[in-house]
Structure 1
Amino acid sequence: MQQPGNGSAPPTDGVDPQSRRSTKDLSRAAVSGWLGTALEYFDFQLYAFGAALVFIPLFFPGTAPGIGFILAMATYGVGYVARLAGAVYFGRMGDRLGRKKVLFLTIALMGGSTTLIGFLPTYASVGILAPLLLVLLRMIGGFGAGAEIAGATVMLAEYAPRRRRGLVGSLVALGTNSGTLAAAGTWAVLLAVLSEEQLLDWGWRIPFIASVGLLLFTLWLRRNLKESPVFEQRADVVDGVAVKRDEITQVAGQAAVEQALHEKKGKAFFIAVGLRFGQAGNSGLIQTVLITYLVSTLMLDRSIGTTAITIGSVIGFATVPLVGILSDRIGRRPIYLVFSAIGAIIAVPLMLAVESGDTVLITVAIALSLNLAVLSLFAGESVTLAELFGARNRFTQLALAKEAGGIAASAIGPVLAAALTAATGSWWPLAAMMIGYSAIAFFSALVAPEVRGRDLLRLDNAA
């Protein structure tokens, strides 16, 4: 029986292609996707905390607090700009040569650059070369990361049994949560056991250098990973009929094939960008901007933000799979509609809690907001975007949609937020931006089709 709104035909042989892989293969793909995404977010969250806690005096000394904040956020944003180039390059490679090859390359670039940041000289040692090298490594890491999470998303969705695709796909979000938790926990420990002098002297290097262990294990795992069953068995679709690639010329001419491949391409892409924009915007605002704002603007203790994110990430281990299960039962659109609406509603209360200066209130507000406005949307996004696109260009379109939305929200957003708060001396721009991010995600979901259980062998997009 077809799922509502997916318009999909059954696979060519009547067998769900995901069932072609054993439980062992699925488990290995799941762990690979989880660890790779964890390393990606460990990297970006390490830098986010570093920018908030130590990078301004280490790489941008002598600047006014507001200018240092803007420079640190701009360097953070450079990684997201490089991700767009990586999405184009590796996305096309993934659709042509396979998901496995790309996932090996992206993790190597991303993890290697993270490790090397731990060996960078500071401004005191080499002057302007220090921030330039930091920007270069951020660009290299971003180039690899541009297709990492997209590749993991595609791989897990294409491995997962159709009825459990939401739960299995949510493991990507669980990976981001794991990376965030590891980064926040690491910085929390460093702040607790080291003096400020020790932290600025050598302590900040520890988490970056230590990430090499996770990198090597993930490389080994991905080297032994089997290719996605959907990539191996994907079919062409002509007039709603699924036919294997080597049989395409027997069914219809090239013109009919091209028409099927490009059907509704634009709408699906822009829906995906909107969904991603809302989630990524809230993520950058809560996990990066607010943590920096607490320290550089409100002059609160460095540990408050890291503790809040740590607690929120622990809670996320329950939130993410629960949302994945719900999306399998009630659909993808309701998940987005409900949680994006909640994100808009809690924006002002979150900022009022932050402005209160009360440690407990701040911690509770940030931890809950992380789950309700970021992790819940990400858990739904991981499978929704994969189901929106057809098999021929799924990797490329998904990677581009994620990075286009990510650049607009997570690269430009933190810099804009820093500039607006510095110019106004108020918290209201942060609340307004969170409402805006959530509203865009809401309206994108409103115009999106329901894609739960869609046949991933189809080449035409769902919208």
Structure 2
Amino acid sequence: MDQHQDPAATAADLNYSTPEGRRGFWAATISSWLGTTMEYVDFALYGLATALVFNQVFFPEQTPLVALFVGFSTYAVGFLARPLGAIFFGRLGDKHGRKVVLVVTVALMGGATTLIGLIPGYAQIGAAAPALLVLLRLAQGFGAGAELSGSAIILTEYAPRRRRGLVASIVALGSNSGTLLASAVWLAVLQLPEEQLFSWGWRIPFVASIFIAVAALLIRRVMKETPVFRAAADEEGESPAQAKAVTPAEAEGATWWTRNKAFFVMVGLRIGENGPSYMAQGFLVGYVAQALLVDESVPTTAVLIASVLGFAVIPASGLLTDRFGRRIVYRVFCALLILIIVPAFMLLDSREPAVVIAVIVVAMCLASLGIFGAQAAYGVELFGVRNRFSKMALAKELGSIVSGGTAPAVASGLLAAVGAWWPLAVYWIVMAGIGFVTTFFAPETRGRDLTALDDATVDPALPGRSPAA
């Protein structure tokens, strides 16, 4: 397809062709990377802290397995606020632009994460300590509900059409950077004597995260609105969400399901990625350290190695979607996730450090890195410009609630109840299987016109639905 037939591609490509446009592109890219880094520093720090120290700092009266379950339950609480953040900030982003939302969300997440590092422990203030922890997790989740989707939209709407998959995958590089930074700092903190670790050492990573938030905030304040949003607003005379124009699907009398199918497709795709992702980078760390009694530095080292490899895995995944299409690459990742998990748990039972590290690294490269890189542009292209931010953000966060946010808690509960790994493998397979099946209902979106009002799942014969490039 000729790029001049694609208004969205023309807007992004023409923007990048000017010096000012290239500066805007790089400002958006760096700010999106830093913002997503901040989000995943938040969640990786919390996940690692829950697996390694929070059981003693905030839940000292519980047995190790019960404390692990309670800790990951507070981890899940943050995800309950994410749909509310997605609704609030998503609507704001569709009406008033992407930039304003991302300025607020990074400030909210950064402040909450820093304050977690300042909460007194259970020994100092009793039950108020875990209560404050839950409150700040809710604040983190409210901001994070729009951060990931907003960053993906910024990158995709700024990217030249033929490189959307690669450019959008930078949002996954941000998540990888956050996980890498969090695991590296935790690996250093774990070298402290146990008394210092549990008294003040665990606080260092949380308080230090403020520097990332400030850097992202400063860049976002000078960042310009995306070329796609500006082009759509110019065409409609106001923001797409405020325009009164009838969409092609509405004009043709499309059914409610046709007009909203993309939302449910996104939920299914998200479940297939997010559940295995949070099990790989969160629960497996606690499982290896608390249930298999392997030294804590072993799974932490594995997370660090996987995060380093992610800087190659993620862009490679984005490039594959540009070359072969979004749908087939996503389907292959889901199939691989289904195939690896039973052998993975069997190998973890060996408790051999090298084997444990290899298993976690492979699981993260597939579940937390590669498939995430493939999802970035796919999710944005699924939706029409009028409600892209609100629908995409809410779909992703609902998918997270029923998969990623609750996966460590559900897995911990299954482990405590059954005392074996096989229910965990079944749970993983079900989530990856949902993603796999969803790809057969999802359209191919590569090269789609991003200024189209309708979602990509409307009848291909309707106006506004561009074929794949």
Band of TM-score, shorter chain = over 0.9
Q: Which moved more, 1:367-376 or 1:82-91?
A: 367-376
Aligned to 2:123: 124
Tell me by how many angstroms 1:102 deviates. Answer: 0.3
Check conservation: 2:106, 2:143, Cα contact below 8 A. yes
Aligned to 2:204: 206
1:72-108 C-alpha deviation (Å, 9 max, x unpaired): 0110001111111100000000000110000000000
Aligned to 1:259: 250
**Matching of residues 413-428 of structure 1 within 5 Å:** 413-428=407-422
Aligned to 1:19: 14
1:113 aligns with 2:112: yes
Q: Which moved more, 1:408-417 or 1:205-214?
A: 408-417
Alpha carbons of structure 1 residues 254 and 205: separation in structure 2 relative to 1, 3 Å: closer
Aligned to 2:274: 280
- Work out the CA distance in 2 between the residues paired with 1:41 and 1:99: 20
- Work out the CA distance in 2 between the residues paired with 1:101 and 1:112: 17
Alpha carbons of structure 1 residues 26 and 298: separation in structure 2 relative to 1, 3 Å: same
**Matching of residues 36-435 of structure 1 within 5 Å:** 36-192=35-191, 194-234=192-232, 244-246=235-237, 259=250, 264-435=258-429
- Work out the CA distance in 2 between the residues paired with 1:372 and 1:246: 44
What is the one-letter code of the residue matched to 2:236? Answer: R
What is the one-letter code of the residue matched to 2:180? Answer: L
Tell me by how many angstroms 1:261 deviates. Answer: 11
Check conservation: 2:281, 2:368, Cα contact below 8 A. no
Alpha carbons of structure 1 residues 232 and 261: separation in structure 2 relative to 1, 3 Å: farther
Check conservation: 1:344, 1:438, Cα contact below 8 A. yes
Alpha carbons of structure 1 residues 41 and 164: separation in structure 2 relative to 1, 3 Å: same
- Work out the CA distance in 2 between the residues paired with 1:61 and 1:131: 11
- Work out the CA distance in 2 between the residues paired with 1:104 and 1:261: 38
Aligned to 1:240: none
Check conservation: 1:16, 1:162, Cα contact below 8 A. no
Consecutive aligned runs of 4 or more in structure 1 exceeding 4 Å deviation: 252-258, 260-263
What is the one-letter code of the residue matched to 1:339? Answer: F
Aligned to 1:238: none
Aligned to 2:461: none
Tell me by how many angstroms 1:401 deviates. Answer: 1.0
Check conservation: 1:304, 1:363, Cα contact below 8 A. yes
Tell me by how many angstroms 1:18 deviates. Answer: 4.5
- Work out the CA distance in 2 between the residues paired with 1:418 and 1:255: 49
Q: Which moved more, 1:326-335 or 1:366-375?
A: 366-375
- Work out the CA distance in 2 between the residues paired with 1:262 and 1:354: 54
Root-mean-square deviation over aligned CA pairs: 2.1
1:18-65 C-alpha deviation (Å, 9 max, x unpaired): 432422211111111111001100110000000011101110111122
Check conservation: 2:118, 2:203, Cα contact below 8 A. yes
- Work out the CA distance in 1 between the residues paired with 2:115 and 2:448: 42
What is the one-letter code of the residue matched to 1:259? Answer: E
1:194-230 C-alpha deviation (Å, 9 max, x unpaired): 0111100110000001111111111100001011111
TM-score (ref. length: structure 2): 0.92
- Work out the CA distance in 1 between the residues paired with 2:88 and 2:229: 18
Identity over the aligned pairs, expressed in percent?
Answer: 47
User: In structure 2, the residue corresponding to 1:15 is in which secondary structure?
Assistant: helix
What residue ranges of structure 1 are gaps of 5+ in the alignment?
236-242
- Work out the CA distance in 2 between the residues paired with 1:393 and 1:79: 25
1:10 counterpart (3, 6, 12): 6
Tell me by how many angstroms 1:265 deviates. Answer: 2.7
User: In structure 1, the residue corresponding to 2:44 is in which secondary structure?
Assistant: helix
Check conservation: 2:11, 2:227, Cα contact below 8 A. no
Tell me by how many angstroms 1:429 deviates. Answer: 1.6
What residue ranges of structure 2 are gaps of 5+ in the alignment?
458-469
User: In structure 2, the residue corresponding to 1:446 is in which secondary structure?
Assistant: coil
Tell me by how many angstroms 1:253 deviates. Answer: 8.8
User: In structure 2, the residue corresponding to 1:410 is in which secondary structure?
Assistant: coil
Check conservation: 2:168, 2:376, Cα contact below 8 A. yes
Check conservation: 2:11, 2:231, Cα contact below 8 A. no
